[in-house]
Amino acid sequence: MAIDFGKVAVLFGGNSAEREVSLMSGNAVLNALIRQGVDAHAVDPKIDDISQIKALGFERAFIVLHGRGGEDGTIQGFLNTLNIPFTGSDVSSSAIGMDKAKTKQIWQSCQLPTASYQIIIKENFEPSTATDILASLSGAVMVKPVHEGSSIGMAKAENAEQLVAALEEAFKFDNKVLLESWITGDEFTVSMLNGRALPAISMKTTNQFYDYQAKYQSTETQYLCPCGLSDNELIELNYLAEEAFKTIGCSGWGRVDFMRDENKNWFLLEVNTVPGMTETSLVPKAAKQAGISFDQLVLSILEQTL
């Protein structure tokens, strides 16, 4: 297999707000590839001159860059120009998947379930409209920077004062912010490998929602896999995940996140085209439940470049 892959660039780190998570993911992937005998090397766009990637003899790239510059089509377009095969989704689906607003609009047009929402542009926002905005979205909202991941800049707002404060914080990360009607219920995620759903995971946290602290710092967050759904519920969830992935044009591997409300209605949250890849991240957890080891998972993703 090592001969087939040639020299592999594992791209991680980068300049986004998710740099620290990317460093953890990238090191895990790099070590797994080396264990498998692959001629893999770390490449960090923040430190290394990636314009030399072709001249240095790299034949393919494993992208483990989270957030802007790595998950938004930028690095994918760069690698396309150099004719270097890479893991994961193509330029357009990466760009759309990174944009929570565009993703929701496409899902809506395809009649896939997603919560009511409003898009707020920084320069157009008037604090005096906060009360009316909340009223139009059932009185409580989740505030999300449109182009960030790992729950960065996210917050719940239940009154005008909270909404203004949450938007001010979110605007530090993005000039465009998504407000979604608050959904009370359970959060689920479905990892995708080669276009097919892996076993679903349910996340339980004592935090207000599954935020950055719950994802990367808490020792109390619970990950249930099997997730406790009936066979019919799993069929419906997997169908929605595969349709959601396909309608954005995603390919290879990724993750689709959901909420299920108290009436057992599903709502699509977002798609991740380069999800976390530490050995305790959600995609590896789902793969393990399917009988796929971390090293096998990493190799399977890299095989998509052949």
Residues annotated as part of the active site: 18, 150, 216, 255, 257, 270, 272, 276
Q: Are 71 and 65 in contact (CB under 8 A)?
A: yes
Q: Are 294 and 29 in contact (CB under 8 A)?
A: no
Cα–Cα distance measured from residue 216 to residue 47, given in angstroms and rounded to the nearest whole number? 24
Omega cis (within 30) before 199: no
Give me the residue label for tokens 């990367």. 216
H/E element, 254 = strand 253-261
DSSP helix/strand/coil, 234: helix
Cα–Cα distance measured from residue 101 to residue 119, given in angstroms and rounded to the nearest whole number? 7
Q: Are 89 and 76 in contact (CB under 8 A)?
A: yes
Around Cβ 112, how many Cβ atoms within 10 Å? 16
- Name, in order, each residue with C-beta under 8 angstroms of 6's C-beta and a sequence gap of 6 or more: 39, 59, 60
